[in-house]
Amino acid sequence: MQEELATIQKLYDVAAEFMVQYSFQIVGAIIIFIIGIKLAGWLGRLTVNLCEKHSVDITLSKFLGNVIKVLVLAFVIIIVIGKFGISITPMVAAISALAFGASFAVQGPLSNYGAGLSIIISRPFVVGNTITIHEVNGIVKEIGLAATILTTEDEEEITIPNKHIVGEIIRNSFANKVVEGSVGISYEDDPKKAISAIKSVLEKVEAVCQDPAPQIGIDEFADSAINIGLRYWVPTQNYFQVRFKVNAAIHQALAENKISIPFPQRDVHLINKQN
């Protein structure tokens, strides 16, 4: 029993001595850490606000804000560690050695971060643009260091690792997406009349962009019809909705103008050979 009491007394003495020697350092470190977190957040927000004030892209603004925040926090942590009399030189060496060894295991994520930084700096696209990569199409919702997130008209989210974006062919149609199609009319009908009717439809549908203007003309002379080609731009978020609406309106306009849409047909001649 006396041995246990002696052990408890020894632990109490050690704790008391530690508190006497390091209490001010601990309190000071806690205060510095709290102030540092507040200061890092404030400087990060200030950086974002200044960038937005000078019309810097929102993605780049957030990236710079996060960089400032991380740098301030790192500096604060170094100060806090120093308050306990701990030298950071051996820690930096150990962290460097661990980072070198871990780099072989995280080459994929690191390549994504490098590619993300390249996208943020070079800005081949920004949030709100419509892009196509590897036959994947959508509106850019978020550009992160690791991945870029796209959204579709069906409210799906597509996450693309940034290493699959950098160095690839990127189609950027900004906020809109082009609709390409054709409609066949009979050779007996007037193509100019059909083009005029289709143009009128595209001018009346509000969602169809007029700048750039829709393109309409004779696409080809097919076997059973004259194909009228059309190209127009619509907001990507309503791509299929507007496309279906335009198709229905074109069908109605051609019918009202008595322009027929022929179906494929062939003339078959029977030859009777007599021996």
Domain encompassing residue 79: 2-90
Contact 127, 58 (CB under 8 A): yes
What is the structure's pLDDT at 68?
Answer: 85
Read off the CATH number of the domain in which 81 is found: 1.10.287
Residue 16 located in a structural domain: yes
What is the structure's pLDDT at 173?
Answer: 85
Residue 107 located in a structural domain: no
Residue 223 located in a structural domain: yes
The CA-based angle 210-227-265, given to 5 degrees, is 150
Residue 138 located in a structural domain: yes
Q: Are residues 134 and 193 in the same domain?
A: no
Structure tokens at 199: 């143009």
Residue 97 located in a structural domain: no
Q: How many folded domains does the chain comprise?
A: 3
Contact 112, 162 (CB under 8 A): yes
In sequence order, the 6+-apart residues with CB closer than 8 A to the CB of 209 are: 176, 232, 233, 234, 235
Q: Are residues 163 and 180 in the same domain?
A: no
Contact 243, 179 (CB under 8 A): yes
Task: Report d(CA 186, CA 266) in Å as an integer.
Answer: 14
Residue 71 located in a structural domain: yes
What is the structure's pLDDT at 274?
Answer: 62
What is the structure's pLDDT at 205?
Answer: 92
Coil/strand/helix, residue 33: helix
Read off the CATH number of the domain in which 217 is found: 3.30.70.100
Task: Report d(CA 183, CA 250) in Å as an integer.
Answer: 9
CA dihedral 170, 144, 166, 127 (to 10 degrees): 20
What is the structure's pLDDT at 69?
Answer: 86
Q: What is the tally of helices (H) and strands (E) in the chain?
A: 6, 8
What is the structure's pLDDT at 105?
Answer: 45
Residue 203 located in a structural domain: yes
Q: Are residues 12 and 53 in the same domain?
A: yes
Strand partners, 229: 182, 217
Residue 133 located in a structural domain: yes
Walk along the chain (275 residues) and give the pLDDT tens digit of each residue: 666 666 766 666 666 665 656 666 777 777 888 888 888 888 888 888 888 787 776 767 777 788 888 888 888 887 777 766 666 666 566 556 555 554 544 456 678 878 888 888 888 888 889 898 888 888 998 888 788 999 988 888 999 999 888 888 898 888 888 899 999 999 999 999 999 999 999 999 988 998 889 999 999 998 889 999 999 999 988 889 999 999 999 999 999 999 998 877 666 777 776 65
H/E segment holding residue 113: helix 107-122
Is the model's pTM score more than 0.75? Answer: no
